[in-house]
Structure 1
Amino acid sequence: MNDKKRGEVDWEDVRIFLALARHGSLSAAARALSVNHATVARRIQSLEASMGERLAERRPEGYVLTAAGTRIMDVASNMETAAQSLGRGGASDTPTGLVRVNAPPGLAQGFLVRHLADIPARHPGLDLELATDLRSISLERHQADIAVRIGRPMDGDFIAKPLGHMAFGFYGTDEICSAVERGERKTVISFNEENADMPEALWMARHFPRARVSFRANNHVAQAVAATRGAGLALLPHYVGRLQPGLRRCELEPLPASREIWVLMRRQDRTDVPIRTIVEHLEKVFAEAQALFED
């Protein structure tokens, strides 16, 4: 906006600032918005000029918000939420617009995809984006509208609803399981080194420290596929192991405690019709699939 006066904020600058704040780098923000990184840098400078304050500082690990940037982030996120609510039809009872759901990759690929993919046909005008992260993403930074998490959430002012429990078992081919049940040395599948601090990986290292780790992958669905090829024994949630052709449950103990599954949304979104529609759908499908998840 060429004739923009000092202090007049361009929403496009704000939108790009939000992307930088969420993704932490010019290149990642540029990819998310399908622009080049020079555009991101120029827009950030434009917003800083409008605000008269430095909003982000470049550090070796990426861009970090200043105190002013954090303040602007909160206001901008609320502006974005309001704009999205209008785009979804405001107070209409008909859910429309885009709802972004975030979940761990194994849960997304092994269960959620097939239970969320029919939503657009059931609710014409309601679109879904399903993204996956092993690490918890930030609802406060509006990286998603709904988050499905494993383990009781301890952070943020969110509405958190329990969806059930996720229990585990050891799964492998019949040949692998028979060998393990005869007492032969265990060859296991686990998480890759980047995710070696995941609870299941830590549990395996503690209870089976002498087992050979023959294959590593970053999610349970990939581990299950490797198990079907005879790579080893996989510690899997039942919802993955029970549905994977070619695997059976091995008689092997101990087993880790089951973990809680929760769905989170921002408190201010509790009356948002599209978001509430998806949350209620998730509660329904998890309740119906309880036997799949638990012992």
Structure 2
Amino acid sequence: MHNVWMEQGFDEHRHLEDLMTFLAVARLGRYNAAGEALGVNHSTVSRRIRSLEKAMGGRVLVRTPTGWEVTGLGRQALTTAEEIERALASLAQRSQDGEMKGMIRVAAPDAFSTEFAVPALARLQQQNPGLTVELISATQRVRQNRSGVDLEVVVGKPFVHKAIAVRLMDYELGLYASQDYLDRFGTPQGLPELAGHRINFYIESALRIDDLDRATESLPQCRRGIDSTSVFAHVAATEAGAGIGLLPSYLGEQRPGLRRLLAQEYAHPLSYWAVVREEAMRNPVVAATIDALQSKGAAGIDSRASITEHR
């Protein structure tokens, strides 16, 4: 790797800011978000990325529909950037009393983040005051080249290479409606009677999770209610009487104003999985985070945790 740097005339010290900026973009996927995290503007981020690409002699990032992702050449820069970051962080991670210190970065769907990750990580942080947590909300497929987060939570069993997939918890989607909606439009007595009702769910064109996409396959043709990329918008729309919500049961059951419909006929099973790079599993902070998430999931929902490794 270092031969490549030297062939391109790369000075790691001179380009330290470029590398750290690139690392932020790789993790967050957007120049604006990286700039906010670093306290610089968009043009500074762009300038630093161009400087890094000039030094390396090629593109380190490529634009995709979901944001910027790392190229093959960029993965070399990512490795070096993470090594530098770990070296700097290790200076602050030395502890005589066994306390874990440093940074853990987790990407997870918003509902899982709010209901399970935040309480679990808050408790872990209380036990280890030197631990810093960054939680990125993302409902998407697992990335084969996971850029920059220590742990990624996804919906559905992932198929990845050179990574470890850890089952965190099982849950299900159910049909929910407000009493006001049912008073106005009637209560369906079977799945066929859902035809013509409005359904609050994800925007179809933006949905890239196969297990979620299949959730409507057993339903009749329904009208669209309020579609959103946010599950909490689905809940709010359902509470507002905009239609029947296709909601995670752990959210729907918490809302006293919502009533579950046709539970014996419809329940779409799903699961949350954590994806971790093999080398990251050697980090005690990552291992402790997975344990905390599994424990919180088991406490919230009857889950069967298992680990499979895909190489």
> Considering the TM-score relative to the shorter chain, is it more than 0.5?
yes
1:174 is the counterpart of 2:185: no
> Structure 2 CA distance, aligned partners of 1:196 and 1:16?
30
Matches within 5 A, 1:266-285: 266-285=277-296
CA displacement at 1:106 relative to structure 2: 2.2
Over 3 Å counting, the alpha-carbon distance change for 1:230 and 1:154 in structure 2 is same
Over the aligned positions, Cα root-mean-square deviation in angstroms equals: 3.4
Q: Are 2:131 and 1:126 equivalent residues in the alignment? A: yes
User: Among residues 159, 176, 187, which one is paired with 2:198 in the alignment?
Assistant: 187
Query: Counterpart in 2 of 1:216?
Result: 227
Q: Which of 214-223 and 174-183 deviates more?
A: 174-183
- Deviation string for 1:58-107 (max 9, x for gaps)? 77978776653333333333443444444433897311122111111122
Residue identity matched to 2:155: I
Map of 1:3 onto structure 2: none
Change (3 A) 1:221 1:142: same
For structure 2, list consecutive stretches of 5 or more residues without a partner in the other structure: 1-8, 305-311
Aligned residues: 288
Percent of pairs with identical residues: 28
Task: Name the SS for the 2:273 alignment partner.
Answer: strand
CA shift at 1:226, angstroms?
Answer: 1.4
How do 1:130-149 and structure 2 match up within 5 A?
130-136=135-141, 138=143, 140-149=145-154
Q: Where does structure 1 differ by over 6 angstroms across 4 or more consecutive aligned residues? A: 57-64
Q: Please tell me the residue identity of whatever aligns with 1:54.
A: G
Check 1:55–1:81 CA distance in 2 against 1; reply closer, same or farther (3 A cut). farther
Q: Which residue of 2 aligns with 1:31?
A: 36
Aligned partner of 1:54 in structure 2 is 58
Q: Any idea what SS the aligned residue of 2:160 has?
A: coil
Partner AA of 1:207 in structure 2: S
Greater CA drift, 244-253 or 82-91: 82-91
> Which of 238, 242, 247 does residue 236 from structure 1 map onto?
247
Q: Is the 8 A contact 2:27 2:149 kept in 1?
A: no
Shift of 1:158: 1.9
Q: Any idea what SS the aligned residue of 2:40 has? A: coil
Structure-2 residue corresponding to 1:114: 119
More displaced 10-residue stretch of structure 1: 208-217 or 149-158: 208-217
Asked if 1:259 is matched to 2:262, the reply is: no
Q: Is 69-78 or 101-110 further displaced after alignment?
A: 69-78
Answering whether residue 9 of structure 2 is matched by residue 9 of structure 1, we say no
Q: Which one is further off, 76-85 or 276-285?
A: 76-85
Aligned to 2:3: none
Q: Which runs of 5+ in 1 are unaligned?
A: 1-5
Deviation at 1:189, TM superposition (A): 0.9
Q: 1:111 to 1:36 in 2, by over 3 A?
A: same
Mapped partners of 2:174, 2:159: distance in 1: 27
Residue 284 and residue 21 in structure 1: after superposition, are their counterparts in 2 closer, same or farther (change >3 A)? closer
Greater Cα offset, 194-203 or 217-226 = 194-203
Q: Is the 8 A contact 1:171 1:177 kept in 2?
A: no
Which amino acid counterpart does residue 43 of structure 1 have in structure 2? Answer: R
Q: Which amino acid aligns with 1:68?
A: L
